[in-house]
């Protein structure tokens, strides 16, 4: 339930953040540079005197929706591939599995870096890169979920009856296979947020003047010893966002566990 | 675990790696701009760029470039770095050992800490200790490497405490103390997220084992709990623990790139980022291949270890 | 051969439970598992505890051994071992008692043995712990113990891992472990339920033999009345946490007083009590004929064979059988006999070599099985929990065949669903329910309704009663027969329960290790020309409890 609370907070910030920011995130306040929290600036200011709270709220959508968007794309593509592999079986399945094995041999962050370099830096490109990097992993999970449902007796009953394939896939298999896929997606959002922030940090994702949180950390690095808040604020925010999705995903997994429903 | 099985697995690994090289090659071919453009920068005229391309062999058709490179790899020649005009093997070789020393340090510390932590959390499930370990692992698993690194730097390497150097590297064979002081922060950064993952997985595997029928039977035989845990529960959770560690190698190999960048650790990660910026194709190829190979081999190794630990798998 | 009758009047009962109640604290309130239990096991005797699932019989075993979860709430009832109270002991003291003064034999030897530890060590660890032997002495003693339980090469078995031993061998190891420290009481929790019929019979004989040799006192828990009648001297019957009847074996089984006991006894299949429909006249043509069916699992393409050869496994070998119109044919065998393979082949789920003839068509491969066949031949599976789509309501589940085969036009489907529910003796309101809102027996009825909805000519029942309680089994079997009566549908009834099949089937086929070894009419079940395997099976099946001596 903590997860849910965090999640609500995080999503709220993502949607409403920019509107709630007390100051213009780009506005300089040279007289109050690199200050800790104060009454005027609740989270302090950065090297240009910009209000950290405002920058944080302003950057929330970039960071959070990046995670959601990349995951949605990756889960969508991966699930389709995985379901096809799982339901078709035979040589189609074998070929897809071999290709997946090959793609999965490359560590995910590395894969993302390679793709993002092709596409060039920028939020959209980074999001696409992460989505592509997620696809093989999600495909594998979707496939194994479908495979395990396919051997259940109610599916066999449908096959024995002579139901058409599209009915079996859409009405018997998918509704029951969706569970593990949804749980994994939630946890993946956390991961996507983290990778997105990392890309922003490396300069390969969000570009200035965006206030995406990873970018904020990168820009503040030189000054971090003078005011730790400049890096701590966005850093902790990233962690909290990811944690919210992680906790929620775990709670989801527990509640969907069939052993508990009796 | 027959010899035939091992040979087949190795062949599968090699096949996968070939696919990987092809994929990387394809990716870099699609990259806009090439090394020649990057080296000459904005000032390169079209003729100068074309001339450089010819010299570097970048004007040949892609399949020739690929097979030429591939042929070289098979005999151990990874070509020349387009940026530095040195053999790739030299450039990558040193970086490899540097990365390895960091990775091994991180992995060893993680294994020593994470597995007992997970086991403890499972044994004391539901109590305060479990909760604390749980909170810690959630936090750890939610912090990207650069955040952990930055926070560690701020608090431990800053002028306030100045306990540890903020970056840089001293080779192990030059000074153990120097190496140690420089490796602590990067290894801790890598280690945090890995420990969080692994301890959580170990906890869940161990909990499942503790709920099994044979543990109940062992307790009902009147055996002391210490023996139940040590001789019945632990051996059955080791195999899954090894599986988890090998899965996390993927995170390790990705995270090391970021960590090396932040701490200026002269390893493969830093080299890769430079190579990507400069479109230094042979270096990109070599590093990607190397990392993928390490990942694939670590999976194979863990499969072998699991087979040795679990008598049921041994005869598969 | 039942347990001995010893004069025990002088000795105290080994186990005495008096006025004991147990409940579990759950989020939805207390769950009463045991209510005011009184139970005694006399010295040198076997006391049977009979109950169905959820009756609380296992909870009683855990309570005696003081292995209770944290949310367990006990009253001040007594649990005495040889007169000493077990309730006010510390954990340390309990650990001394477990394995040494009271031990337990569990239901499933494949889960109650540590898969990563050799069998020998699992046996000797109790000897080392409770009798203070050295590891060397313990191993020698273990070897002797295994020998006493009938293991042929005990030294060999000590070095094996559980997955390298058969079910029967593993259970013997578990029994040897329970006897190892000469306990005062051994609790047997359904020790033969997870075993094959013939293996179960052997373990039963072993139990009786050991009982004779050692005069051990035993609490024998089971849901199987027939079994209990063969081993117990006295019996208690437990229902919903309460002991409803108790007494010497002969009294309880021949003259039961409680209505639940009576219902339970009635529900046990009695082969002499015919329940089935009238046999079809001898000249009735065959409805379905299976000719020389062979199924080989794990066949690979040539490429796969080169890259990763895997051994193939024969599920069925050269099996031929036929079912005539209106007939009920029983197909019997132990696990691994191939009977489920045949079920899958005949319902169009498994590829095969050979031929299946139905009506005037003949099919030589899975691919040839057509829609007409699939409509005419329906299957009902074993596990009620898995045979219904958890995300569909009963109405959808039953309408599906109606829609697929266009049995009735759309506007009449709701009515037909209601009729089907009535036919399987379920309330019409169940149409709105989801499977998890139904009990096991109810789910199985819905599965049967689904099969009959298609108006089939042949229904294949693959162990449909195996996962159900005894009392529910009887009603499901009864339902099947009444449906057969109404519709004239033929049935292939697959089961391992020989007593049940003799109540229902006109003809019986026996399978062993993939082959059909015997086929006979029900009257000829005990004729002299039966295959020795058939005779062994019949001998291994316990007679109905009401015939207990």
Q: What is the pLDDT of residues A18-44, one digit of tens each?
A: 777 777 777 777 777 777 777 777 777
DSSP per-residue codes, chain A: -HHHHHHHHHHHHHHHHHHH-SS-TT---GGGTT----SSSTT-B-TT--BHHHHHHHHHHHHHHHHHHHHHHHHHHHHHHHHHHHHH-HHHHHHHHHHHHHHHTS-HHHHHHHHHHHH-SSHHHHHHHHHHHHHHHHHHHHHHHHHHHHTSHHHHHHHHHT--HHHIIIIIIHHHHHHHHHHHHHHHHHHHHHHHHHHHHHTSSS-TT---HHHHHHHHGGGTTT-THHHHHHHHHHHHHHHHHHHHHHHHHHHH-GGGG-
Facing residue for C116 by CB, picked from B8, B216, B311 = B311
Q: Do the Cβ atoms of C185 and C218 come closer than 8 Å?
A: yes
Give me the residues of A, 92-121, that contact B with CB < 8 A: 98-99, 101-103, 105-110, 113-115, 117-118, 120
Chain A positions in Cβ-Cβ contact with residue C347 (cut-off 8 Å): 160
Answer whether A67 touches B (CB < 8 Å). no
Facing residue for C404 by CB, picked from A161, A175, A262 = A161
pLDDT at A113 (0 to 100) = 85
Q: Which residues neighbour C92 within 8 Å (Cβ) at sequence distance 6 or greater?
A: none
pLDDT at B50 (0 to 100) = 77
Q: Do the Cβ atoms of B295 and B249 come closer than 8 Å?
A: yes
Rounded CA-CA distance C208/C45 in Å is 11
Contacts 24+ apart (CB under 8 A), A171-175: A171/C389, A171/C392, A172/C389, A173/A87, A173/A146, A173/A149, A174/A83, A174/A146, A175/C389, A175/C391
Burial of C454 (0-12, 13-18, 19+ CB in 10 A): buried
Give the gyration radius of chain A's Cα atoms: 22
Rounded CA-CA distance B7/B10 in Å is 5
pLDDT at C1 (0 to 100) = 42
* Residues recorded for chain A: 262
Chain A positions in Cβ-Cβ contact with residue B32 (cut-off 8 Å): 118, 120
Q: Do the Cβ atoms of A199 and A114 come closer than 8 Å?
A: no
Q: Do the Cβ atoms of C269 and C544 come closer than 8 Å?
A: yes
pLDDT at C2 (0 to 100) = 45
A262: pLDDT confidence band, cut at 50, 70 and 90?
Answer: very low
Q: How many CB atoms lie within 10 A of CB A82?
A: 28
Residue C154, helix vs strand vs coil: helix
Facing residue for B214 by CB, picked from C65, C94, C114 = C114
pLDDT at C248 (0 to 100) = 92
Mutation target to probe the B interface, by most B beta carbons within 10 A, among A239, A249, A250 is A239
A90-104 vs A123-150: helix crossing angle, rounded to 10: 140
B291 and A106: CB-CB below 8 Å?
Answer: yes
Q: Which residues neighbour C469 within 8 Å (Cβ) at sequence distance 6 or greater?
A: C52, C53, C223, C440, C441
In order of C1, C8, C213, C251, the CA distances from C5 in angstroms are: 12, 9, 13, 14
Q: Do the Cβ atoms of C112 and C187 come closer than 8 Å?
A: no
- Bridge partners of C462? C494
With contact defined as 3+ CB pairs under 8 Å, the chains touching B are A, C
Q: Do the Cβ atoms of C139 and C120 come closer than 8 Å?
A: yes
For residue A211, is it left (φ>0), alpha (ψ between -120 and 50) or beta?
A: alpha
Is the ipTM, as predicted for this complex, more than 0.90? no
Minimal Cα distance from B309: which residue of C?
A: C116
CA-based nearest residue to C518, from C321, C297, C242: C321
pLDDT at B219 (0 to 100) = 94
Facing residue for B213 by CB, picked from C100, C106, C307 = C106
Answer whether A242 touches B (CB < 8 Å). yes
Answer whether B230 touches C (CB < 8 Å). no
Chain B positions in Cβ-Cβ contact with residue A221 (cut-off 8 Å): 150
Burial of C79 (0-12, 13-18, 19+ CB in 10 A): buried
Sign, CA torsion B262/B266/B272/B273: positive
DSSP per-residue codes, A69-97: HHHHHHHHHHHHHHHHHHHH-HHHHHHHH
Facing residue for C374 by CB, picked from A152, A154, A162 = A162
Q: What is the pLDDT of residues B294-313, one digit of tens each?
A: 888 888 888 888 877 777 76
pLDDT at C304 (0 to 100) = 66
Rounded CA-CA distance C479/C472 in Å is 11
Q: Both ends of chain B: CA-CA distance in Å?
A: 7
Rounded CA-CA distance C523/A199 in Å is 80
pLDDT tens digit at each of 549 positions of chain C: 444 444 445 578 899 999 999 999 988 888 899 999 999 999 989 999 999 888 889 899 999 999 998 889 998 888 999 888 988 889 899 999 998 999 999 989 989 999 989 999 999 999 999 988 899 999 999 999 999 898 888 999 999 999 889 889 999 999 999 999 889 999 999 998 888 888 888 998 999 899 888 888 999 999 888 888 888 999 999 999 999 999 998 888 888 899 998 888 888 888 888 888 888 888 888 888 999 899 988 777 666 666 666 778 888 889 999 999 989 999 999 888 889 899 999 999 998 999 999 988 899 988 888 889 999 999 999 998 889 998 899 999 999 999 999 888 999 999 999 999 999 999 999 999 999 889 888 999 999 999 999 999 999 999 998 888 888 888 899 999 999 989 989 999 999 888 899 999 999 999 998 899 999 988 888 888 788 899 888 888 877 765 554
**Largest Cα–Cα separation, chain B:** 86
Chain A positions in Cβ-Cβ contact with residue C447 (cut-off 8 Å): 157
Minimal Cα distance from B237: which residue of C?
A: C116
B311 and C97: CB-CB below 8 Å?
Answer: no
Chain C positions in Cβ-Cβ contact with residue A172 (cut-off 8 Å): 389
Residue C299, helix vs strand vs coil: coil
* Residue whose tokens read 């030897």: C109
pLDDT at C3 (0 to 100) = 45
Q: What is the DSSP code (8-state) at residue C286? A: E
A240 and B142: CB-CB below 8 Å?
Answer: yes
Facing residue for C383 by CB, picked from A153, A160, A175 = A153
DSSP per-residue codes, C401-466: HHHHTT-S-GGGHHHHHHHHHHHTT--GGGGG--GGGS-HHHHHHHHHHHHHHT--SEEEEESTTT
DSSP per-residue codes, C307-323: HS----EEEEEEEEEEE
B142 and A231: CB-CB below 8 Å?
Answer: no
Q: How many CB atoms lie within 10 A of CB B90?
A: 13
C496 phi and psi, to 5 degrees? -110, 0
Strand order in the sheet with C46-50: C102-105, C185-189, C217-222, C46-50, C234-239, C242-248
Nearest chain A CA: its distance from C376 CA (Å): 9
Rounded CA-CA distance A6/C69 in Å is 33
Burial of C532 (0-12, 13-18, 19+ CB in 10 A): exposed
C450 and A157: CB-CB below 8 Å?
Answer: yes
A114 and B27: CB-CB below 8 Å?
Answer: yes
Answer whether B314 touches C (CB < 8 Å). no
Low-confidence spans in chain B with pLDDT less than 70: 1-2, 27-28, 30-44, 56-57, 82-83, 158-166, 171-173, 313-316
Q: What is the pLDDT of residues C335-367, one digit of tens each?
A: 888 898 999 999 999 989 999 999 888 999 888
pLDDT at B243 (0 to 100) = 82
b/e map B283-311, b = 16+ CB within 10 Å: bbbbbbbbbbbbbbebbbebbebbbebbb
Rounded CA-CA distance A49/A28 in Å is 5
A109 and B32: CB-CB below 8 Å?
Answer: no
* Residues recorded for chain C: 549
C83 phi and psi, to 5 degrees? 85, -15
Rounded CA-CA distance C431/C414 in Å is 9
Q: Do the Cβ atoms of C333 and C512 come closer than 8 Å?
A: yes
B219 and C104: CB-CB below 8 Å?
Answer: no
Give the gyration radius of chain C's Cα atoms: 26
Rounded CA-CA distance C177/B225 in Å is 18
Rounded CA-CA distance A120/B31 in Å is 9
Q: Do the Cβ atoms of C386 and C376 come closer than 8 Å?
A: no
pLDDT at A261 (0 to 100) = 38
Strand order in the sheet with C458-462: C377-380, C458-462, C490-495, C328-332, C507-512, C515-521
């Amino acid at each position: 339930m903590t997860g849910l609370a965090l999640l609500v907070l995080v999503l709220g910030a993502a949607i409403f953040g920019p509107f709630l920011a007390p100051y213009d995130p780009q506005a300089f306040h040279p007289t109050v540079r690199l200050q800790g929290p104060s009454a005027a600036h609740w989270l302090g200011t950065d090297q240009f005197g910009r209000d950290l709270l405002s920058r944080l709220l302003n950057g929330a959508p970039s960071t959070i929706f990046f995670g959601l968007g990349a995951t949605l794309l990756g889960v969508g593509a991966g699930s389709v591939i995985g379901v096809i592999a799982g339901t078709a079986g035979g040589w189609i399945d074998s070929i897809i599995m071999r290709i997946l094995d090959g793609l999965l041999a490359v560590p995910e962050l590395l894969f993302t870096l390679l793709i993002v370099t092709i596409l060039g830096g920028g939020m959209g490109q980074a999001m696409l890169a992460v989505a592509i990097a997620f696809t093989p992993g999600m495909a594998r999970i979707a496939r194994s979920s479908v495979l395990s449902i396919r051997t259940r007796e109610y599916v066999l009953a449908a096959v024995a009856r002579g139901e058409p394939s599209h009915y079996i896939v859409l009405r018997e298999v998918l509704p029951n296979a969706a569970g593990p896929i949804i749980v994994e997606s939630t946890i993946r959002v956390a991961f996507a947020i983290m990778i997105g922030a990392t890309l922003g940090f490396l300069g390969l994702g969000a570009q200035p003047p965006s206030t995406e949180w990873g970018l904020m950390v990168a820009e503040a690095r030189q000054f971090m010893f003078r005011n730790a808040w400049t890096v701590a604020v966005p850093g902790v925010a990233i962690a909290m966002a990811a944690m919210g999705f992680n906790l929620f995903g775990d709670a989801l997994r527990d509640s969907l566990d069939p052993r508990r429903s009796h | 675990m027959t010899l035939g099985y091992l040979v087949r697995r190795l062949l599968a690994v090699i096949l996968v790696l070939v696919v990987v090289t092809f994929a990387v090659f394809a990716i870099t071919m699609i990259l806009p701009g090439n090394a020649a453009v990057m080296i000459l920068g904005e000032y390169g005229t079209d003729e100068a760029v074309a001339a450089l391309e010819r010299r570097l062999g970048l004007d040949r058709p892609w399949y020739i470039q690929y097979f030429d490179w591939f042929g070289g790899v098979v005999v151990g020649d990874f070509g020349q770095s387009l940026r530095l005009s040195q053999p790739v093997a030299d450039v990558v070789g040193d970086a490899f050992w540097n990365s390895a020393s960091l990775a091994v340090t991180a992995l060893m510390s993680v294994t020593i800490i994470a597995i007992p932590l997970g086991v403890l959390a499972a044994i004391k499930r539901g109590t305060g200790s479990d909760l604390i370990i749980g909170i810690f692992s959630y936090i750890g698993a939610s912090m990207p490497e650069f955040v952990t690194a930055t926070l560690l730097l701020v608090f431990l390497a800053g002028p306030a405490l100045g306990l540890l150097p903020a970056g840089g590297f001293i080779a192990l064979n030059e000074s153990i103390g120097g190496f140690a002081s420089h490796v602590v922060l990067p290894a801790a950064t890598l280690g945090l997220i890995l420990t969080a993952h692994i301890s959580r997985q170990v906890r869940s595997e161990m909990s499942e084992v503790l709920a099994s029928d044979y543990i109940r039977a062992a307790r009902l035989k009147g055996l002391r709990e210490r023996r139940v845990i040590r001789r019945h529960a632990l051996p059955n959770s080791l195999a899954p623990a090894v599986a988890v560690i090998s899965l996390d190698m993927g995170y390790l190999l990705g995270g090391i790139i970021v960590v090396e960048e932040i701490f200026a650790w002269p390893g493969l990660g830093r080299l890769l980022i430079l190579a990507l910026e400069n479109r230094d194709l042979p270096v990109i190829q070599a590093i990607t291949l190397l990392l993928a190979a390490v990942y694939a081999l670590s999976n194979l190794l863990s499969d072998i270890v699991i087979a040795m630990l679990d008598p049921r798998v041994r005869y598969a | 051969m039942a347990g001995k009758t010893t004069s025990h009047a002088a000795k105290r009962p080994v186990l005495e439970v008096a006025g004991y109640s147990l409940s579990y604290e759950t989020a939805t309130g207390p769950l009463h598992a045991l209510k005011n239990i009184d139970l005694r096991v006399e010295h040198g005797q076997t006391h049977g505890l009979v109950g169905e699932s959820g009756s609380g019989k296992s909870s009683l075993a855990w309570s005696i051994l003081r292995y209770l979860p944290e949310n367990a709430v006990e009253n001040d009832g007594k649990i005495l071992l040889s007169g000493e109270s077990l309730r006010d002991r510390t954990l340390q003291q309990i650990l001394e008692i477990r394995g040494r003064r009271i031990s337990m034999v569990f239901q499933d030897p494949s889960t109650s043995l540590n898969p990563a530890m050799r069998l020998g060590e699992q046996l000797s660890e109790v000897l080392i712990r409770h009798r203070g032997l050295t590891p060397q002495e313990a191993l020698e003693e273990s070897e002797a113990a295994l020998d006493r339980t009938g293991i042929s090469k005990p030294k060999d078995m000590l070095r094996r891992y559980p997955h390298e031993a058969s079910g029967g061998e593993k259970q013997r190891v578990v029994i040897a472990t329970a006897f190892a420290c000469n306990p005062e009481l051994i609790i047997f929790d359904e020790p033969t339920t997870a075993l094959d019929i013939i293996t179960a019979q052997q373990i039963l004989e072993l139990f009786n033999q050991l009982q004779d040799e050692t005069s051990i006192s035993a609490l024998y828990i089971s849901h199987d009345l027939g079994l209990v009648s063969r081993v117990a001297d006295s019996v208690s019957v437990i229902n919903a946490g309460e002991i409803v009847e108790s007494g010497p074996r002969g009294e309880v089984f021949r003259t039961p007083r409680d209505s639940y006991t009576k219902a339970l006894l009635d529900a046990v299949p009695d082969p002499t009590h015919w329940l089935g429909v009238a046999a079809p006249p001898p000249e009735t043509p065959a409805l379905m004929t299976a000719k020389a069916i062979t199924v080989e699992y794990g066949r690979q393409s040539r490429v796969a064979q080169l890259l990763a050869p895997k051994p193939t496994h024969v599920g069925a070998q050269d099996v031929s059988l036929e079912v005539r119109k209106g007939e009920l044919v029983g197909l019997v065998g132990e696990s691994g006999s191939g009977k489920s393979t045949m079920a899958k082949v005949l319902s169009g789920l498994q590829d095969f070599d050979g031929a299946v003839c139905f009506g005037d068509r003949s099919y030589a491969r899975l691919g040839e099985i057509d829609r007409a066949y699939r409509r005419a031949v329906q299957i009902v599976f074993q596990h009620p929990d898995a045979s219904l789509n958890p995300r569909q309501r009963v109405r959808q589940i039953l309408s599906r065949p109606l829609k697929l085969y266009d049995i009735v036009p759309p506007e009449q489907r709701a009515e037909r669903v209601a009729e089907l529910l009535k036919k399987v003796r379920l309330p019409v309101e169940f149409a709105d329910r989801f499977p998890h809102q139904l009990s096991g027996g109810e789910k199985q009825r819905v599965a049967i309704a689904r099969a009959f909805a298609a108006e089939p000519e042949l229904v294949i029942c693959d162990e449909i009663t195996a996962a159900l309680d005894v009392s529910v089994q009887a009603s499901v079997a009864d339902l099947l027969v009444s449906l057969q009566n109404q519709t004239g549908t033929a049935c292939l009834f697959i089961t391992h329960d020989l007593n049940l099949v003799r109540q229902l089937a006109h003809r019986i086929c026996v399978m062993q290790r993939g082959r059909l070894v015997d086929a006979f009419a029900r009257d000829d079940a005990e004729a002299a020309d039966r295959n020795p395997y058939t005779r062994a099976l019949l001998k291994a099946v316990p007679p109905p409890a009401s015939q207990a001596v």
